[in-house]
C-alpha cells in the first residue's frame, strides 16, 4: 500500500484504516515519477515540480521544487524562497493572504502599511492582526509554493483577492497575459540557501529568490503598467528561473510537472526556453500534471525503489 506523506489527505487516511503496511511517497517526487512513467524515461532527471501544496519530509509546505531524481530517490537541489501564509489553508481561497505573506517576507512590519491592491482588500484591523500572526509565526506556516506565488501576484495586480475555487487566481493571471510581451523580471539564485532555512530539508544548494521580481512588480503596479504586461513578464520570469536552475544543475533532461503546469502559457514558455538552452524537456500529455496523476507517480516511485 502506498500513500502521500500528508496525513490529512483522504487517501492517506483511508490507507491507514486497511490494516496493511503503508509506504509514504513525497508528493513532489510522485509528480516527477508520474511524468517520467508517462514519458517512459528512466535514470536521472531534473524534476521541476510546482504546485500549491505538498508535505515535505519535515512536514513543511513545499510547492516550488527542483528535484534531482535518480532511479531510487531524489535530492532537493533547489527551491523557491519560502514565505509565510497567514491563516494557513485559508490562503488557498484568499490570494490576498498570500500577497500579504509575500510582502511581509520582503518588507517586514512595514508590509502592513503598503499602499498596494492586496492590502486594500483587507479591513485595516484584520490586516494588522494578520501581520501580528506573521511576526509571531502563529498559524502562518512557511511555504515554497509556486501556486501561492501565482495567487499573490494576482492579488498584487488587483485581479483576484478571494477565489471561489482553487486555481482561479492563477487562471485569471494566465488569461490576462494574452499575447502581451515584455522582458522577464529580475530574480536571484541565492547559493546561501541556509539563509532562508528552518530545517536541513529547507536548505538546498540553491534558493530561487523572487524578491527582486516582486519589487519590480510593485513598481509596475505603482506606474499603472497594464496587468497583461505584468502577467506576461511574470510568466516569462518563471520560465527563465527554470532554465537558470537547470544550467546550474547541469542535468540535460528536465521534467515539468505539478498543477502549475496546467498553465499552458507557463508550459510553452518553459519548453521553448529549455530547448533554446540545449535541454530536453518532458511534460504531461495524457496523465494530468496535477494531483490526478499522483497515484501513478506513487506506484512508479515504489517500483523504482524496489530491487529488480
pLDDT tens by residue, 118-143: 999 999 999 999 999 999 999 999 99
Residue 14 is assigned to a structural domain of this protein? no
In a domain, 294, yes or no: no
Using a 10 angstrom Cβ sphere, with 0-12 exposed, 13-18 middle and 19 or more buried, the burial of residue 44 is middle
> Residue 9: inside a domain, yes or no?
no
Q: Which three cell numbers stand for residue 182?
A: 515584455
Range of the domain at 156: 45-286
Rounded distance between C-alpha atoms, residue 130 and residue 25, angstroms: 33
pLDDT of residue 198: 47
16 or 276, higher pLDDT: 276
pLDDT reading at 16 higher than 60: yes
Confidence band for 252, pLDDT divided at 50, 70 and 90: very high
CA-based torsion, 39, 44, 49, 54: positive or negative: positive
CA 274 vs CA 46, 48, 241, 268, 271: distances in Å: 12, 12, 11, 10, 5
Model confidence at 180, in pLDDT bands (50, 70, 90)?
confident
pLDDT reported for residue 45: 98
pLDDT of amino acid 196? 52
Please check the confidence at residue 263 and state whether its pLDDT lies above 80.
Answer: yes
27-79 pLDDT, tens digit per residue, is 999 999 999 999 999 999 999 999 999 998 888 899 999 999 987 889 999 99
Q: Which residue has the higher pLDDT, 307 or 295?
A: 295
pLDDT at 23 over 80: no
Count of domains in the chain?
Answer: 1
Mention every residue, 6+ apart, whose C-beta is less than 8 A from residue 25: 2, 3, 4, 5, 33, 297, 298, 301, 302
Average pLDDT score over residue span 5-31: 77
Q: What whole-number distance in Å separates Cα of residue 1 and Cα of residue 38?
A: 21
Q: Looking at 5-19, 183-197, 215-229, 276-290, which range is the least confident one?
A: 5-19
Mean pLDDT is highest, among 11-15, 126-130, 299-303, for 126-130
Ranges of beta strands (E only) in 56-106 are: 61-69, 74-80, 83-84
Q: Does some domain include residue 25?
A: no
Please report whether residue 185 resides in a domain: yes
Q: Is the pLDDT of residue 200 over 90?
A: no
Residue 295 falls inside a structural domain: no
Quick check: is 307 in a domain?
Answer: no
CATH of the domain at 152: 3.30.420.40
Q: What is the pLDDT of residue 270?
A: 98
Is the per-residue pLDDT at 275 higher than 70?
Answer: yes
d(CA 286, CA 284): 6
Looking at the domain assignment, is residue 28 inside a domain?
A: no
pLDDT digits (tens, 9 = 90+) for 90-102: 999 999 999 999 9
Amino acid at each position: 500500500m502506498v500513500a502521500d506523506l500528508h496525513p490529512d489527505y483522504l487517501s492517506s487516511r483511508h490507507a491507514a484504516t486497511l490494516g496493511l503496511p503503508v509506504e509514504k511517497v513525497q508528493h513532489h517526487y510522485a509528480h516527477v515519477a508520474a511524468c517520467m512513467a508517462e514519458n517512459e524515461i528512466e535514470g536521472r532527471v531534473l524534476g521541476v515540480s510546482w504546485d500549491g501544496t505538498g508535505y515535505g519530509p519535515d512536514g513543511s509546505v513545499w510547492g516550488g521544487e527542483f528535484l534531482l531524481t535518480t532511479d531510487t530517490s531524489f535530492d532537493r537541489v533547489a527551491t523557491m524562497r519560502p514565505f509565510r501564509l497567514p491563516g494557513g489553508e485559508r490562503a488557498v481561497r484568499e490570494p490576498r493572504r498570500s500577497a500579504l505573506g509575500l510582502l511581509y517576507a520582503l518588507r517586514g512590519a512595514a508590509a502592513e502599511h503598503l499602499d498596494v491592491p492586496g492590502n486594500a482588500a483587507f479591513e485595516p484591523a484584520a490586516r494588522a492582526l494578520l501581520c501580528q500572526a506573521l511576526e509571531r509565526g502563529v498559524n502562518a506556516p512557511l511555504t515554497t509554493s509556486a501556486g501561492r506565488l501565482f495567487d499573490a501576484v494576482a492579488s498584487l495586480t488587483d485581479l483576484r483577492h478571494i477565489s471561489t475555487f482553487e486555481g482561479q487566481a492563477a487562471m485569471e493571471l494566465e488569461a490576462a497575459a494574452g499575447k502581451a510581451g515584455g522582458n522577464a523580471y529580475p530574480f536571484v539564485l541565492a547559493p546561501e540557501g541556509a539563509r532562508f532555512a528552518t530545517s536541513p530539508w529547507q536548505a538546498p544548494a540553491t534558493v530561487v529568490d523572487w524578491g527582486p521580481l516582486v519589487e519590480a512588480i510593485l513598481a509596475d503596479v505603482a506606474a499603472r503598467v497594464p496587468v497583461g504586461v505584468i502577467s506576461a513578464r511574470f510568466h516569462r520570469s518563471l520560465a527563465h528561473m527554470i532554465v537558470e536552475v537547470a544550467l546550474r544543475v547541469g542535468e540535460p533532461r528536465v521534467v515539468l510537472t505539478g498543477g502549475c503546469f496546467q498553465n499552458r502559457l507557463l508550459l510553452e514558455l518553459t519548453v521553448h526556453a529549455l530547448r533554446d538552452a540545449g535541454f530536453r524537456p518532458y511534460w504531461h500529455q495524457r496523465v494530468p500534471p496535477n494531483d490526478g496523476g499522483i497515484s501513478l507517480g506513487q506506484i512508479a516511485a515504489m517500483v523504482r525503489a524496489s530491487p529488480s
